[in-house]
Amino acid sequence: QVQLVESGGGLVQAGGSLRLSCVASGSIFSINAMGWYRQAPGKQRELVAAIRRDGTTNYADSLKGRFTISRANAQNMVLQMNNLKPEDTAVYYCNVLTIWGSDSWGQGTQVTVSS
């Protein structure tokens, strides 16, 4: 099993930046991909960005160019969020997909962007 802990959320003004981190522990060898999802009130959870085992990435079209996903190391995934907008307000969740098709979720971290 993989355990995930997110950090870095908070309150920021529109146009500002935040840097989210996700630290994984446990069966790290089993991870095929890691990603960030977000869920705003009344909305479905949506993919923000993901990074695969080979380092390739993908982003939600609306976020491409503002958000960057990367790995600080094998256990630490980072989401750099720039030029934040009020519509980015959501709970952001770290997610991992294992080699056997199961996934794990962090507890979420709140990001609030004020106008």
Query: What digits encode the pLDDT tens for the residues 55-107?
Result: 999 999 989 899 999 998 878 999 999 999 999 999 999 999 999 899 999 99
Q: Do the beta carbons of residue 1 and residue 103 sit within 8 Å?
A: no
Is the Cβ–Cβ distance between 85 and 113 less than 8 Å? yes
* Token couple for 77: 């995934």
Q: How confident is the model at residue 1 (pLDDT cuts 50, 70, 90)?
A: confident
